[in-house]
Amino acid sequence: MSGKPLIVAIDGPAGAGKSTVARRVAEALGISYLDTGALYRALAFYLDGRDIPPAESESLSRALEEVSIDIDGEGVHIDGKSVGREIRSPRIDGIVSAYASLPMVRDRLLSLQREQGERRSIVADGRDMATVVFPGADVKIFLPATDEERARRRFKELESRNEPVRFEEVLEQIRQRDRTDSGRQTAPLRKACDAVELPTDGLSIEEVADAILALVRKTSK
């Protein structure tokens, strides 16, 4: 691919299957996948580990200045250390939205995300890809799914990792996350006016990925 990097922006609520679909689309196109949720999760993990609560404060501001965050392919490094499964725990699920709603936290991650799209072609997924981070993206997709469907998927994933959870708990956490992600002042989760909406209930990962690939091909013609 030559010239300006291609940017495919995918937004949607927690558990809509964005990351699996985005990774698949990136693979099919032979370009990189940028998981912006991992950046928010890594930062929440870091701040929580330092007992810095999710509220704008001097200590939060200092921590955000001091911490180094790097993206290496699909990996995220915090202060030079690679983060792994620990950012996907039920604890981080429960607190990440509160950190992600803070303008200080969002500002800290904005240029980092944009730089990725300046350097190379990417498929980026998150909540504000098409609205804030990459408003000029070549293809913009919004992937909704009902909360029950999303909770079922998340429950299965946690079960397969032997995490002890109840379905009702997972459903409530998904609903709580939706409220925080959609209700926040800065960069709330919403569909960009020029995004294509693809509801994923009842569709397989392949079907969703194929629909996105068809849109990408149509745009790059």
The residues that touch ligand DC, with contacts defined as CB under 6 A, are 14, 36-37, 40-41, 96-97, 100, 126-128, 177, 181
Nearer to ligand DC, 1 or 169 (CB): 169
Both tokens of 77, joined, read 């490094």
Q: Supply the minimum distance, in Å, between the C-beta of residue 128 and ligand DC.
A: 5
Instruction: Report how far residue 145's alpha carbon sits from residue 88's, in angstroms, rounded to the nearest whole number.
Output: 20
Nearer to ligand DC, 30 or 197 (CB): 197
Nearer to ligand DC, 149 or 181 (CB): 181
Q: Supply the minimum distance, in Å, between the C-beta of residue 175 and ligand DC.
A: 12
Q: Supply the minimum distance, in Å, between the C-beta of residue 210 and ligand DC.
A: 22
Q: Supply the minimum distance, in Å, between the C-beta of residue 115 and ligand DC.
A: 15
Give alpha helix (H) positions in the chain.
18-29, 36-49, 58-66, 90-100, 103-119, 147-160, 167-183, 205-219
Nearer to ligand DC, 128 or 149 (CB): 128
Residues 6 or more apart whose Cβ sits within 8 Å of residue 14: 150, 154, 174, 177, 178, 181
CB 155 within 8 A of CB 165: yes
Nearer to ligand DC, 31 or 93 (CB): 93
Q: Supply the minimum distance, in Å, between the C-beta of residue 149 and ligand DC.
A: 15
Whole-number CA gyration radius for the chain:
17
Instruction: Report how far residue 99's alpha carbon sits from residue 177's, in angstroms, rounded to the nearest whole number.
Output: 11
